[in-house]
């Protein structure tokens, strides 16, 4: 298959498994592991691969039910056994701001903080489903970006797609309507495509709306 130059691809797995050219930057992982700082700030201009590098670190460090070690075979980092001993050994919280395109900090903060907090909370609850299920969060899937997908390893069981919404208590009264919009997005973006491709045809779709301490969950099929 003819390789292409990746434009707009920021997921490390997609970059390596797709037909894309990849400049091996995996020794960046070694730099991070050997840095020793409590906090590392990595400022870069736009389009310099920040999200791709963070995705690479996530796939390398995260302790997950999926074995990601094969992604790093034949790359520079694989020549450093002390680093490879750390592969897949850590819990990781991965947040990306690349899709936030508001003009002011106030609007950005309001759109980011509540939904991300609820998102992380739900992910924490779902961790107990491993190793029977694979938990995927906020990545490109099918024809768009789902919030959370729960993928059963037994394809006879139901998969789960979750779309979150966080609303302002002062502005939104009808949570049912917002939950329905979340379900409609799942359908419109065809998030279920990834499950179909894995042979999973029982699918539960959830629209979850948060308003302060209030939560409404609406299921679709």
Q: Give the domain ranges of the chain.
A: 12-84, 105-220
Residues of the chain with pLDDT under 70: 1, 109-116, 138-144, 221
Length of the chain counted residue by residue? 221
Residue 60: CB atoms within 10 Å:
26
Sign for the pseudo-dihedral over CA of 5, 8, 11, 17: negative
State what percent of residues in the chain have pLDDT above 70.
Answer: 90
Distance CA 81, CA 125 (A): 34
Q: What angle do CA 213, 215, 220 make, to 5 degrees?
A: 170
Distance CA 195, CA 104 (A): 37
Helix/strand/coil for 110: helix
Instruction: Tell me which residue of 105, 207, 124, 221 sits closest to 166, measured CA to CA.
Output: 207
Instruction: Tell me which residue of 38, 69, 41, 63 sits closest to 54, measured CA to CA.
Output: 41
CATH T-level fold of 105-220: Trna Endonuclease; Chain: A, domain 1 (3.40.1350)
Quick check: 102 and 111 in contact, CB under 8 A? yes
- Write the Ramachandran bin of 190: left for phi over 0, alpha for psi from -120 to 50, otherwise beta: left
Element holding 17 (H helix, E strand): helix 12-17
**Residue for token pair 């309507």:** 177
Distance CA 24, CA 34 (A): 19
Can you give the pLDDT at residue 122?
81
Can you give the pLDDT at residue 77?
97
Can you give the pLDDT at residue 94?
78
Quick check: 4 and 21 in contact, CB under 8 A? yes
Can you give the pLDDT at residue 28?
95
Partners of residue 140 on adjacent β-strands: 145
Can you give the pLDDT at residue 130?
76
């Amino acid at each position: 298959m003819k390789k292409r130059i990746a434009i707009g691809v920021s997921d490390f797995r997609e970059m390596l498994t797709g037909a894309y050219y990849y400049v091996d930057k995996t020794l960046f992982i070694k730099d991070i592991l050997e840095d020793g700082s409590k906090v590392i700030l990595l400022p870069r201009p736009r389009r310099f691969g920040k999200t791709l590098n963070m995705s690479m670190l996530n796939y390398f460090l995260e302790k997950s039910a999926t074995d990601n070690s094969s992604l790093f075979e034949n790359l520079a980092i694989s020549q450093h056994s002390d680093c490879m001993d750390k592969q897949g050994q850590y819990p990781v919280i991965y947040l990306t701001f690349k899709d936030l395109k508001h003009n002011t900090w106030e609007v950005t903060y309001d759109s980011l903080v509540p939904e991300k907090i609820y998102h992380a909370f739900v992910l924490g609850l779902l961790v107990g489903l491993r190793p029977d299920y694979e938990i995927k969060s906020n990545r490109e899937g099918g024809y768009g970006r789902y919030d959370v997908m729960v993928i059963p390893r037994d394809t006879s069981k139901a998969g789960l797609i979750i779309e979150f919404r966080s609303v302002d208590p002062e502005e939104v009264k009808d949570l049912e309507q917002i939950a329905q919009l979340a379900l409609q997005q799942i359908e419109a973006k065809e998030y279920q495509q990834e499950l179909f491709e894995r042979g999973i045809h029982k699918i539960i779709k959830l629209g979850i709306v948060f308003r302060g301490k209030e939560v409404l969950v609406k299921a679709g099929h």
